[in-house]
Amino acid sequence: RRGFTSCPRETGVTWKMRKMGSEECASTGAILRQLEQTALLSGRSESVTWLTPSNCLPIWSRRLGRNVEGCQRHCDATRSQNFDVELTGRLWSLWGGLHPRAPWFDGKVRGRQTLGCCVVACCVACTFRHLGEWSGKLLDAIVVNGDRYYRASVEQSQRWDLHLGVDDMCSECEFQDLRYLVQLELVAFGHVYSSPASTEMSLLEGLNYFFTRFQFGVLECQGRRFSFGHSSSRDGGYFLFDCSAWDEPLFPDDMGASYLLLAKQLQMLLYCVVVTLNVRRRNVEFRLYNVDVARLPGDDRKCIEGEP
């Protein structure tokens, strides 16, 4: 089991495992079955009811010792290469061990590098398209290189006291010995839980629009950012990368790390995004940015030892 970034406390860090009650499991299971049976997404919107009951942990939470199918974690039956099986044939999770809050990062930007990590994650997905071969070590490298990219952007903008926006980021970034030209562009926006009759895009409509035109992007909502995308490789699918989660509801107390969710269907990605955002009211704006990535020539393709 991989470790996670933690902050020291006088009393130490305690791993508190929570168990879903039978009512919570039944409710979540019903939602997942409904998603599986929804063959056509057009005309349907995401629903705030996916968040009920309010005290139910996300099915991929590290506080849960078993996945939603009742299988024990950290055993061969619930592993697929480096991924944990969350829902057989539909959802997998991959966990790093490093968080942008880690004490060895520069204190001037520590904890604010999420956007940089998200952009680097898109660059990595563009190069290493076989998502099933990713590892926790690769996720840690994304955080390290995302920190470097964010610090370079801060130095360029000289905005040391602020969270940088998409317009403040450098046009070039690196991952190990690979160099990329990146451009972020706002391509869709709307409000979470907007009805199909509304003039505002729902998150579902935004994602549908995005994936008919683009491949990798950054989602922004309520000050949080995640990267997402799609790979058409045999072991690919839709992915969500998050490096901002800390403590509840995903991690033990005072711990956090980057992670990646891999879904085979768009509706499962939508469910994961809604649960991750945990927006419990209407009229909350979201924005989708396309991350256009171009590999710069003249690089030797050196990868981390043991990586794809």
Residues 231-247: tens digit of each pLDDT: 988 888 999 999 999 99
State residue 20's pLDDT score.
Answer: 40
| Residue 240 belongs to some domain of the structure | yes
Q: For residue 16, what pLDDT is reported?
A: 35
Q: 306 pLDDT exceeds 80? A: no
> Is a pLDDT exceeding 90 seen at residue 110?
yes
| Token pair of 279 as six digits | 């927006």
Q: Does the pLDDT of residue 146 top 60, yes or no? A: yes
* Res. 163 pLDDT band, cuts 50 70 90: confident
Confidence at residue 54, expressed as pLDDT on a 0 to 100 scale: 62
- Domain residues for 239? 66-185+216-278
Please report, for the domain that includes residue 168, its CATH number: 3.90.70
Q: Burial of 115 by CB count in 10 Å (0-12 exposed, 13-18 middle, 19+ buried)?
A: buried
Q: Is 44 left (phi over 0), alpha (psi -120 to 50) or beta?
A: beta
**pLDDT of 255-297, one tens digit each?**
999 999 999 999 999 999 999 999 999 889 999 999 999 999 8
**Residue 3 domain-assigned?**
no
109: its two tokens: 């930007």
Query: Is pLDDT larger for residue 100 or for residue 29?
Result: 100
pLDDT of amino acid 122: 98
The three-state (H, E, C) secondary structure of 145-171, written as one string? HHHHHHHHHHHHHCCCCCCCCHHHCCC
Number of domains composing the chain: 1
Is residue 112 scored above 80 in pLDDT? yes
More confident residue, 302 or 170: 170
Q: How many helices (H) and strands (E) does the chain have?
A: 5, 12
In a domain, 136, yes or no: yes
The reported pLDDT for the residue numbered 71 is 92
Residue 151 falls inside a structural domain? yes
Asked if residue 234 belongs to a domain, the reply is yes
